């Protein structure tokens, strides 16, 4: 007669620990990337203002000017000359929404506004963070 030790038994249960570990890692990755995916905006250190009002997205031309002078139109990098060509066919009734890092040289912003003014745009807005 043979006795069965605990070591000789078949494992009939699934070990859930590795599965839970993998799910937790996936959850952490999802949480870390979710804010960027939802906002769909390039992160900038926007200036702060005490007043401001919202603009409607469908009535704006979004323009981003980075601290180093890089210009992004519709999230695509363009030079000042390319910007001039791309905005010629846009509706002049739209508001030019300028998003810029708070440390961006003001000359970059003035150059971009000049380009839009030459093309016939008259309405501008600067995106800021409201102080509370």
Which position has the higher pLDDT, 101 or 56? 101
- 37-42 long-range contacts (CB < 8 A, ≥24 apart) are 41/99, 42/72, 42/75, 42/99
Nearby residues of 76 by Cβ (< 8 Å), 6 or more positions away:
none
Q: Which two structure tokens, joined as six digits, stand for 94? A: 């739209």
Judge if 27 and 92 occupy the same domain: no
Judge if 33 and 98 occupy the same domain: no
Q: Residue 57: which pLDDT band, with cuts at 50, 70 and 90? A: low
Least confident of 11-15, 74-78, 126-130: 126-130
Domain count, the chain: 2
Instruction: State the chain's mean pLDDT as an integer.
Output: 79
Judge if 13 and 53 occupy the same domain: no
pLDDT in tens, 101-115: 878 888 888 899 899
């Amino acid at each position: 007669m043979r006795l069965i030790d605990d070591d000789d038994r078949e494992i009939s249960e699934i070990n859930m620990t590795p599965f839970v570990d993998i799910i937790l890692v996936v959850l952490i990755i999802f949480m870390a990337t979710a804010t960027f995916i939802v906002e769909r905006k390039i992160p900038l250190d926007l200036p702060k203002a005490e007043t401001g009002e919202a603009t409607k997205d469908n009535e704006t031309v979004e323009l981003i000017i980075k601290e180093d002078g890089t210009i992004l139109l519709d999230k695509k990098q363009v030079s000042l000359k390319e910007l001039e060509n791309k905005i010629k066919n846009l509706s002049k009734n739209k508001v030019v929404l300028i998003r810029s890092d708070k440390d961006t040289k003001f000359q970059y912003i003035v150059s971009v506004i000049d380009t839009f003014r030459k093309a016939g745009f008259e309405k501008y807005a600067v995106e800021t963070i409201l102080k509370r």
